[in-house]
Structure 1
């Protein structure tokens, strides 16, 4: 499936994206705030493309034929939390050099439209770390509303507080 917005193309990840993904995802400002470690090699990124990013409804966010981030809907049992039947969890990230241009909002808005119109999803949840004001702002602009305060554990087994939000069809 390929989705198009005014500025972006959302498409499946390809093996040939591995080097580009690595160059974005090695940045320690990207993964840890989202709960995953920075990529350590192109091979690491290729493995992520072939496993995590190969799941349905996970897309490369592409600008001018270059992947600049990722957006996806996660479904039980692949999401971070079980939210109930006919639900999905929204996840996204954008490379640092593309921050502040509305791309996370634009890509997420298109995927939300697909979820509600084509996938029979009734509610979409998302979580963000309390210190991640950028993600909070994206979700607020998308219309998400507060759902719950939560505690979670990251890849380093560190506990952290996060906020869960929900968007209903």
Structure 2
């Protein structure tokens, strides 16, 4: 599936995106605050595309002007989520390269994914989390209608092998529909 917004194309990842992925995912300002280590090679980025980003409902966030991947957004449904949720719920995760911060691109992508989640996938609730210190992610969630749900004080992060404070927010379909 592919989505087009005013400035973006949300599309499946392809292995030829590996260099673009590495360009942004190697930045220490991206992965660690989102809960994954910075990439160390194009080969690692290619492996992530083949083994992690190849799942259904995981999309490259690409610029409409050139179709180059600058970030990622995805929906992890039910048991695929990092949260204990039902099959009628999804966890949304996203990131974007530092040169594109502050331009409203991830909110633009997230609004598209929210609409797809509720209208096409017919999910009842979307969940989203951010680790302490990642206020940019919190602002994106609030801008897109997500409301604070709860805090997990000692969340183990397997990718970074550490424990963190995670803030969890949610958006119900009925609340989203009421604002449309």
TM-score tier, shorter chain, comes to: over 0.9
**How many residues matched?**
169
Whole-Å separation in 2 of the counterparts to 1:78 and 1:40: 26
| RMSD value, Cα | 0.9
Structure 2, unaligned runs of 5 or more: 174-180
Runs of at least 4 residues of structure 1 off by over 6 A? none
Question: Which residues in structure 2 correspond to 1:1-150 (within 5 Å)?
Answer: 1-63=1-63, 64=65, 65-150=67-152
Whole-Å separation in 1 of the counterparts to 2:5 and 2:160: 36
Q: Which moved more, 1:10-19 or 1:70-79?
A: 70-79
1:100 Cα deviation from its structure 2 partner: 0.3
2:156 corresponds in structure 1 to 153
Whole-Å separation in 1 of the counterparts to 2:89 and 2:172: 9
Instruction: Please list the CA deviations of residues 46-105 of structure 1 after superposition, one character each: whole Å capped at 9, or x if unmatched.
Output: 010011100101000010221110000012332211122300000000000100000110
Secondary structure, counterpart of 2:83 in structure 1: coil
Whole-Å separation in 2 of the counterparts to 1:123 and 1:156: 28
Structure 1, unaligned runs of 5 or more: none
Whole-Å separation in 2 of the counterparts to 1:50 and 1:167: 30
1:122 Cα deviation from its structure 2 partner: 0.4
Whole-Å separation in 1 of the counterparts to 2:109 and 2:81: 19
